[in-house]
Amino acid sequence: MYNIHVVSVNFVMAMLLFDSIIRIKEIGLKKIIERLMIFLIFASPVLVWKFSNSQVDIGLDRSWFYIINNSLLGNLFTLFTLNPLINFIILNGIATVIIFFLTLPIKRSKNDLTVKNFIWAALIILLIQMVAGTWLPLTVIIQSQIMRVGLFINFFAYLYFSGYIAELISSKKIGVSKIVLLILVLLFSIVPLIPLVILLLYKKIDHKILIEIIKYLIIFVFLITLFILKIANIWKPGINIGPIKDDSYDVQMWAKNNTAKDVIFITPPALWWFYNLEWRVISERSTVSTLSELLEGAFLPSYIDYWRPRFEDVAPGALIQFSVDPLKNIEITKKAYNFLSEKDVIRISKKYNAKYFVSEKPYRYSFPMVYQNNHFNIYVLNLVN
């Protein structure tokens, strides 16, 4: 497995190295080499482990990239698309960069210049990712998911936005009402586009009633967004020490408590979401294939050759219908699985030696049923083999 945490550490090293090169006259080549050597010495245990166990591929694997990009990870690699959700994500990424440069102090300290160099380093990394994801999908770049460096841009943008507000408060350059507006948009905006719009316009807004209306709109949009995210099961407030005990949890617990550990199940391949654990997690039982396995396949290209025929068996025709819309692809997968005939189920059972079949209600089959709850049925198949 490719260790993404090693890559994340390398982002920091890349930013520090870029800053050192930019300021080489100030720092001196000798100090840069000394610091690099110190890093290599202390990082040597991890580096030795990494390069002795690396499965990094420096070649091109377009078929692998096409599958992971068109299934669940289009939002990570796609730059040009008609998909509104992905375009919205891209716009928010651009907004974050603009926020940083707008809030960067005019009189910059040494630390400000260093952070600015960090941002430029991150943008160069993102440019490399853009080229790879659009024209030249080198496996090592796609596998490394270097677009994650964008998180550092996000951190610095909001940090400097906070500093910008603090500077306005201390300098008393604007009224309290506008200060409150900026604080509200910083605290209650889920996406960076809203703070950017306010940041660009707040100096031109002088009407007190309009400022008050915008404040309430910010809170209103925030609450509506939370409501939509809750309905979509993307945001589920609460404190859950363990997994959420819903129908998916119950059906997996039945499998865990009532079947042998080496038993193989045929399960809904799209049975996964932000708050739904993948089948193997609770049940501790194997399944023929799941869509969520592609999240692992994105780090291990060779896994696709194993995954693809199995997935096409449990969700026939789904893969060729995939686009860069993950939500649509999940629905396509569900539909393909739910339309399996009994002959299809028996064929899959024999091919993979699967003993149990899990279906979602209201779809029913004539196989002997051994368990059901509000959402799932489990059938035993060894009696029909």
| pLDDT tops 50 at residue 258 | yes
CB 137 within 8 A of CB 128: no
In a shared domain, residues 266 and 370: yes
Rounded percentage of the chain residues whose pLDDT exceeds 90: 66
In a domain, 115, yes or no: yes
In a shared domain, residues 267 and 146: no
In a shared domain, residues 252 and 152: no
pLDDT digits (tens, 9 = 90+) for 107-140: 889 999 999 999 999 999 999 999 998 899 999 8
Tokens of 197: 């719009």
Segment (H or E) for 140: helix 139-144
In a shared domain, residues 65 and 167: yes
In a domain, 364, yes or no: yes
Structurally, the chain folds into a number of domains equal to 2
- CB count, 10 Å around CB of 75? 18
In a domain, 199, yes or no: no
Tell me how far apart the alpha carbons of residues 361 and 296 are, in angstroms, rounded to a whole number: 29
In a domain, 308, yes or no: yes
Domain end (from 173, 196, 212): 173
| pLDDT tops 60 at residue 149 | yes
Q: Is the peptide bond before 362 cis (omega within 30 degrees of 0)?
A: yes
| pLDDT tops 70 at residue 203 | yes
Q: Which residue has the tokens 């029913």?
A: 364
Domain end (from 112, 141, 173): 173
Average pLDDT over residues 322-336: 94
Tell me how far apart the alpha carbons of residues 236 and 299 are, in angstroms, rounded to a whole number: 28
In a shared domain, residues 167 and 251: no
Tell me how far apart the alpha carbons of residues 320 and 245 are, in angstroms, rounded to a whole number: 34
| pLDDT tops 70 at residue 53 | no
pTM above 0.75, yes or no: yes
What pLDDT shows up at residue 366?
94
Average pLDDT over residues 41-47: 76
| pLDDT tops 90 at residue 42 | no
In a domain, 52, yes or no: no
| pLDDT tops 50 at residue 1 | no
Low-confidence winner among 4-13, 164-173, 203-212, 358-367 (lowest mean pLDDT): 4-13
Which of 21, 196, 33, 40 lies closest to 118 in space, CA to CA?
A: 21
Domain end (from 144, 173, 202): 173
For the chain, the average pLDDT equals 91
In a domain, 25, yes or no: no
In a shared domain, residues 139 and 252: no
What pLDDT shows up at residue 112?
95
| pLDDT tops 80 at residue 28 | yes
Reported residue count of the chain is 385
Q: Which residue has the tokens 């002997």?
A: 368
CB 350 within 8 A of CB 223: no
Segment (H or E) for 30: helix 29-52
In a shared domain, residues 374 and 258: yes
Q: Is 373 helix (H, G, I), strand (E, B) or coil?
A: coil
Tell me how far apart the alpha carbons of residues 329 and 260 are, in angstroms, rounded to a whole number: 32
In a shared domain, residues 75 and 164: yes
Q: Is 246 helix (H, G, I), strand (E, B) or coil?
A: coil
Segment (H or E) for 66: helix 62-71
Domain hosting 368: range is 247-380
In a shared domain, residues 145 and 265: no
Phi, psi at residue 110, to the nearest 5°?
-60, -40
What pLDDT shows up at residue 66?
93
What pLDDT shows up at residue 104?
94
In a domain, 216, yes or no: no
Rounded percentage of the chain residues whose pLDDT exceeds 70: 95
Longest dimension (CA), the chain: 80
In a shared domain, residues 162 and 259: no
What pLDDT shows up at residue 121?
96
In a domain, 70, yes or no: yes
pLDDT digits (tens, 9 = 90+) for 278-317: 899 999 999 999 999 998 888 888 899 999 999 999 999 9
- CB count, 10 Å around CB of 311? 24
Contacts of 253 (CB under 8 A, 6+ apart): 282, 283
Residue type, 93: G
**What's the per-residue H, E or C state across 142-157?**
HHHCHHHHHHHHHHHH
- CB count, 10 Å around CB of 254? 19
For 265: left if phi > 0, alpha if psi spans -120 to 50, otherwise beta; the answer is beta
Average pLDDT over residues 321-344: 95
